[in-house]
Amino acid sequence: MPEDKVKIFHLEMLDRDAFVPKPTSADFNTVLVDPAEPSLNQQLYRDVGSLWQWTDRLIWDAAQWNQYVSRNSLNTWIGYWKGERAGYFELESQDNGNVEIMYFGLLPQFIGMGLGGILLTAAIESAWQSPHTKRVWLHTCSNDHKHALANYLKRGFLLFKTEFENAD
């Protein structure tokens, strides 16, 4: 793969029975952010995404963050390890029973502790909570953590498309 190309992996889970949860810990919990807090999403996007070249939303102003986060179709969840904010995920309810994991990740100081699978388990469980959910999907890329794709596959996602994008 040429160095200037980013490989994007699109994954989906079409049946809740395909879900393979990672055992959780009593020291880990997730909390829904309610009401929405645009500045929190902005901070988490920057803090979590700084290692993985998340750049497309760095230029957003407060109004853009407010418009994005305040939609009824979007929920943000914070993962806590021993009471400390460890990571987050955003779920977007879409047409036809689709739920997309829009953003997902750990804060840098919590990487390497085995929490990625626990946080992903919480994200998938939350996505399947609605009886209308028919498909949970996401995309990851070659810029993300080296174990990201394997984590998604271990939890029961299947790869349905791979593409290349020029690195910016």
Q: What one-character DSSP code corresponds to residue 114? A: S
Question: Would you write out the chain's pLDDT as a tens digit for each of its 168 residues?
Answer: 456 688 999 999 999 999 999 998 999 999 999 999 999 999 999 999 888 888 888 899 999 999 999 999 999 999 999 999 999 999 999 999 999 999 999 999 999 999 999 999 999 999 999 999 999 999 998 888 888 899 999 999 999 999 987 655
- The domains of the chain are located at 5-166
Question: Which option is the CATH number for 5-166: 3.40.630.30, 3.30.70.20, 3.40.50.300, 3.20.20.70?
Answer: 3.40.630.30
In this structure, how many other beta carbons lie within 10 angstroms of the beta carbon of residue 52? Answer: 14
